[in-house]
Amino acid sequence: MDTQNLSYALVQLAHNFGAVAVTGGAVAGWLAQRSDALPPSALVWLVLAGWIVQTASGAGFGLISLAYYGQFPDLHGVAVAALVVKLSCATAALILSMLLLKFAGAWSAARRCNAWSLLVGLAATALSAAAFLRWFA
């Protein structure tokens, strides 16, 4: 079996499940918060873990390219912009989910609702950027 393809497939597998966790987890948290309930902290952990997996597996794509071709993928234009969008979303979402984990209990319902809305927006933006990165890379 081609080890390069296998490496890409395994990293993509983690990346796909990470995408489901950050998007589905945020939507579930947002829906729970809309009824004024405090979403279970397991949901925040799921979203945080999802963003960690996305960042690590995203870097994994670059490392595989480095290992097999001696260089990172040659990206330019729209693909670079899409990657910057993804990295910005990941940074913001990692910080926000850690804040939510630590302070959600002390925040007002309105502030928590805003935080969950933002997490949904960041996941949707990163997911949209993925389409542009895929086809402009």
Residues near ligand HEM (CB under 6 A) are 15, 19, 22-23, 54-55, 58-59, 61, 86-87, 89-90, 123, 126-127, 130, 133-134, 137
3-state secondary structure of 39: coil
Residue number closest to ligand HEM, CB atom: 58
52 and 94 Cβ atoms separated by less than 8 Å: yes
Looking at the Cβ atoms of 9 and 111, the one nearer to ligand HEM is 9
Looking at the Cβ atoms of 115 and 122, the one nearer to ligand HEM is 122
Calculate the alpha carbon distances from 47 to 2, 32, 74, 101, 134 in Å: 33, 14, 30, 10, 23
Looking at the Cβ atoms of 64 and 107, the one nearer to ligand HEM is 64
The minimum distance between CB 127 and ligand HEM, in angstroms, equals 4
Residue 40's nearest CA partner among 48, 32, 49, 31 is 32
The minimum distance between CB 47 and ligand HEM, in angstroms, equals 11
47 and 93 Cβ atoms separated by less than 8 Å: yes
